């Protein structure tokens, strides 16, 4: 997990006018400075990316479902006898 440093660093970003205006409005709606809002957006995105990566790695580590010693076919995996029409 990312470690939060107590030491803050100034960063310069370049935005087009429309994005800057929208970001200022969103920051004001949340009662934050533009700098703090940008930091929060980045922090949340990085946390989400890390959580998604961990979930993906966990999923990839799962062994495939086997039936009678072999992998299921797509049809067998999705077989819903009560929903199929015959």
Query: Residue 83's pLDDT is what?
Result: 53
Residue whose structure tokens are 């999923």: 59
pLDDT bin (cut points 50, 70, 90) of residue 86 is very low
Radius of gyration of the chain (CA): 24
Mean pLDDT across the chain: 84
Residue 82 has pLDDT above 80, yes or no: no
Q: Domain-by-domain residue ranges, the chain?
A: 17-77
Distance CA 33, CA 39 (A): 10
**pTM, 2 dp:** 0.59
Compute the average pLDDT of residues 73-78: 78
Placement of tokens 């939060």 in the chain? 4
Q: What percentage of residues in the chain have a pLDDT greater than 90?
A: 53
Instruction: Express as a percent the part of the chain with pLDDT over 70.
Output: 83
């Amino acid at each position: 997990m990312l470690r939060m440093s107590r030491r803050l660093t100034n960063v310069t970003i370049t935005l087009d006018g429309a994005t800057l205006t929208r970001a200022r409005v969103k920051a004001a709606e949340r009662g934050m400075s533009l700098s703090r809002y940008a930091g929060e957006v980045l922090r949340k995105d990085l946390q989400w990316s890390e959580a998604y990566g961990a979930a993906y790695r966990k999923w990839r580590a799962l062994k495939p479902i086997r039936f009678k010693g072999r992998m299921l076919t797509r049809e067998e995996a999705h077989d819903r006898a009560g929903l199929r029409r015959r």
